[in-house]
Structure 1
Amino acid sequence: MGAQKIVRQEADTVGENPLRLEKEKAEQIVDALNTDLADAYVLYHQLHKHHWNVEGAEHLGVHEFLEEAYEDVEDAADELAERVQTLGGVPHASMTALSEAATVEPEDEDVYDVRTSFENDIEMYGSIMESYREHIELAENLGDHATGELLRQHLLELEEHVHVMDHYLEDDSLVQS
């Protein structure tokens, strides 16, 4: 005898929330946050790939930086998913749902030099940061200032990561080519 499955809430639905945010407004914010969640997982996997494959004289520093970066992205994804749930929504969790909702494209499976990897990461970060800015404005225009603040905090982390990557790409280096 198999266990009976009980669906508590169907995917892609938004129920009532304890925040007193109107359902129609919550639906818009949940949709935006699920996009951010999906994009975060694409970025997470790309950063993790680069962490695994980094080589060269600056290997250790870059390796450790990338680990910190993907861990920060994973933590942000967790907070985004929890906010979706708080708003009465269902956070995307399957690879299919995440892939379909993502607006950024990961690089292919090939292994690239660190400079190319960082350039690809910076491009993805840029797209995600633009999306965050739009979603901050959306949330605040709908009266959800807490989601706006959450996204602002994550945006600051993303900007810091891009800043560090940009510095790694500078010409001034102790390493001779």
Structure 2
Amino acid sequence: MENLVGIDQKKAEQLVEHLNNLLADYEIFYQNLRGLHWNIKGKEFFELHEKFEEFYKDAFVKIDEIAERVLTLEGEPLHTYTDYLKAAEVKEEKNVTDGPQGVEVVIDNFRTLVRKERGILALAADATDEGTVSLMSDYISETEKTLWMLHSYLR
């Protein structure tokens, strides 16, 4: 049996589960970035304050895109912090004020996200779900470049 967009229903349900987990991770990541943006101190303040804002604005867009993909696959996106905290692998960060430590947090969070995106990409390819494949492919390319840049920043 296929869903509305022609994807096997069982495969779509599996994708929805993984996309919801990614959604939860992005929500926690988003809040981590907001905290870093607000609380960062030190000589890197100006550049990191701006960079963290850039990252949280991008995460905000991705959160909406992931939720809409869940809906397209006939699922229900997670939408409470209770659910996010249960489903997310990304952990909440609190009271990080040191610039390099904040960048390390972002690197760790991005590494989790890109790993999950690769897993979803493989599931989507198996389900011939081009919409999800395209979304994850774009996210992976962007995240890999960002990881390289952040790693270079810390060297």
TM-score (norm 2): 0.92
Whether 2:112 is the aligned partner of 1:127: answer: yes
Whether 2:57 is the aligned partner of 1:71: answer: yes
| CA-to-aligned-CA distance 1:71-116 (integer Å, 9 cap, x gap) | 1111011100000001100000011111111122222x22331111
Whether 2:67 is the aligned partner of 1:81: answer: yes
Contact 1:69 1:161 in 2 (8 A): no
Q: C-alpha separation between the residues in 1 aligned to 2:55 and 2:151? A: 14
- Find the structure with the greater CA-based Rg: 1
Amino-acid identity (%): 35
Task: Return 61-70 or 109-118, whichever deviates more.
Answer: 109-118
Q: Paired residue for 2:12?
A: 26
Q: C-alpha separation between the residues in 2 aligned to 1:62 and 1:112? A: 11
Q: C-alpha separation between the residues in 2 aligned to 1:112 and 1:64? A: 14
Q: C-alpha separation between the residues in 2 aligned to 1:40 and 1:28? A: 19
| CA-to-aligned-CA distance 1:91-148 (integer Å, 9 cap, x gap) | 00011111111122222x2233111111122112111111111110011011112201
* CA RMSD in angstroms, aligned pairs only: 1.5
Amino acid at match of 2:47: G
1:136 to 117, 121, 124: 121
Ranges in structure 2 where 5+ consecutive residues have no aligned partner: none
Amino acid at match of 1:126: R
Whether 2:46 is the aligned partner of 1:60: answer: yes
1:103 to 89, 94, 98: 89
Contact 2:28 2:91 in 1 (8 A): yes
Q: C-alpha separation between the residues in 2 aligned to 1:75 and 1:149? A: 16
| CA-to-aligned-CA distance 1:8-42 (integer Å, 9 cap, x gap) | xxxxxxxx742011211110110010011000011
Amino acid at match of 1:43: F
| CA-to-aligned-CA distance 1:40-76 (integer Å, 9 cap, x gap) | 0111111111111122233222111110111111101
How many residues align? The count is 154
Query: What SS does the aligned partner of 1:46 have?
Result: helix
Whether 2:140 is the aligned partner of 1:159: answer: no
Whether 2:30 is the aligned partner of 1:44: answer: yes
Q: Paired residue for 1:8?
A: none
Ranges in structure 1 where 5+ consecutive residues have no aligned partner: 1-15, 171-177
